[in-house]
Amino acid sequence: MREQVEAAIAKIRPMLQNDGGNIELVEITPEGVVKVRLQGACKGCPMSRMTLKNGVERIVLKEVPGVKAVEAVE
């Protein structure tokens, strides 16, 4: 599952990098929660929650069966 999640994240990474940010996969819990760390400009951006839910989570849920949610960690 980790490889599938990495591939899904790779699809959104260029958009984040264009805005001076990045994303790192931290872990996938046994319950199917993907934990990521937003980096660079994304880390403190007021829109980061929307980016996480409407961008990253939407793509990961669509592409990786078994994932229940995507959460940001510090």
CATH of the domain at 6: 3.30.300.130
- Burial category of 73 from C-beta neighbours within 10 Å (exposed 0-12, middle 13-18, buried 19 and up): exposed
Single pTM value for the model: 0.92
Q: Would you place residue 7 in the very low, low, confident or very high pLDDT band (cuts 50, 70, 90)?
A: very high
Contact 12, 25 (CB under 8 A): no
Average pLDDT rounded to a whole number, residues 5-15: 96
pLDDT at 44: 82
Give the range of the structural domain holding residue 29, as residue numbers without chain letter: 2-72
pLDDT tens digit sequence for 21-48:
999 999 999 999 999 999 999 988 888 9
